[in-house]
Structure 1
Amino acid sequence: MAQQQEKPAQEVTKRADSALVTSEGITTIADTVVRKVAGLAANEISGVHALGGGAARAFNALRERIPGATASAGQGVSVEVGERQAAVDLQLEVEYGVAIADLSRAVRRNVITAVERMTGLEVVEVNITVADVHLPDEDEGDEVADTGRVR
């Protein structure tokens, strides 16, 4: 009988290892929260032009044209969230000329810091896929089409 009482106490002690899992209860962080935090943290780094692959960016551009709709901060970000840990996968479009390895380190560090600070989850990995390079003249082509030929 004494063993039955000790076992639950040991389980509670085992589970009370983090701020999210305590003897008073469990705090659950939704995947969408981690996805948004990670996306915003990645966008804070100079040299990141956009998040997501071509199709995701095109869909997001359409969404921005709908009145009242906003861009998704979680675009190009997928996550797996457990009770205490999270893993993040990012798809980036980078500015032409940046050192991609250095940029990846900075993005990874910023995402880990932001997610861990805001959620209390331990980030076990941040995988980065560089899906595209943004060329400086790509923006100029858009402006010419918008303004027309004659001024």
Structure 2
Amino acid sequence: MTETRTSTATVEQASGRSFGVQGGSGLVTERGRTTIADGVVAKIAGMAAREIDGVHDFGTGTARAFGAIKGAFGGEDGVTRGMAVEVGERQAAVDIHLIVEYGVAIPDLAQAVRSHVIRAVERMCGLEVTEVNIAVDDVHLPRQEETREPSEGEPRVL
């Protein structure tokens, strides 16, 4: 391409399509721009939140039920379940619906998830994260059969 285009309108007109939102620092230069889709930020936030101990799962009850049905038919349960993001020109906001493990201090867990998600999104995307809102929708209770180990000599199967 011999012509250099620096304005957003010119790039969109030349390509015939809209690029959506654009990123912040380092994402818009005189030689071009980089855009980051909402889904990319949602995946990064989802992966970062999953790395925190005490987080059991994500999504509201309806979203989890839909994911179970989808999984029964061979559909993939996405890492973005329970994540809602809004990406602007230089900033992003994240809403997370999660299920916590029983016994975990929810305020401490929320702060750990929030900090980890902010660091991951800012490092990987170059976007300023303005907020990470966390909604705790459920508590995962351990089941007796999941935590109880058979004693020596006791049959494992009844």
- Taking the aligned partners of 2:113 and 2:81, their CA distance within structure 1 comes to 15
What secondary structure sits across from 2:26 in the alignment?
A: coil
Give me the whole-angstrom Cα distance separating, in 2, the residues matched to 1:43 and 1:118.
16
Q: Which residue of 1 aligns with 2:94?
A: 88
Residue 118, structure 1, aligned to residue 107, structure 2: no
The root-mean-square deviation of aligned C-alpha atoms, in Å, is 1.8
Describe the superposition over 1:14-64 as per-residue Cα deviations: whole angstroms up to 9, x where unpaired.
xxx711121222211000000111111111111000011111011111222
Question: Equivalent residue of 2:143, what SS?
Answer: helix
- The one-letter code of the counterpart of 1:25 is G
2:32: which partner in 1? 25
Residue 5 of structure 1 corresponds to: none
Alpha-carbon distance in structure 1 between the residues aligned to 2:107 and 2:99: 13
Q: Which amino acid aligns with 1:45?
A: I
**Structure that is richer in helix per residue:** 1
Counterpart CA distance in 1 for 2:120 and 2:34 is: 18
Amino acid at match of 2:106: I
Unaligned runs of 5+ in 2: 1-6, 8-23, 147-156
The answer (yes or no) to whether the contact 1:20–1:83 under 8 Å persists in 2 is no
State the 1:66 CA deviation: 2.2
63, 66, 70: which one aligns with 1:63: 70
Deviation string, structure 1 residues 72-117 (Cα, Å, up to 9, x no partner): 1110010100121100000010000000011011100110111111
CA contact (8 A) 1:35 1:77 kept: yes
Structure 1 residues not aligned, in runs of 5+: 1-7, 9-16, 141-149
Distance in 2 between residues matched to 1:139 and 1:37, nearest whole Å: 34
Which portions of structure 1, spanning 4 or more consecutive aligned residues, are displaced by more than 4 angstroms?
A: none
Partner of 1:76: 82
Aligned residue-pair number:
126
TM-score (norm 1): 0.77
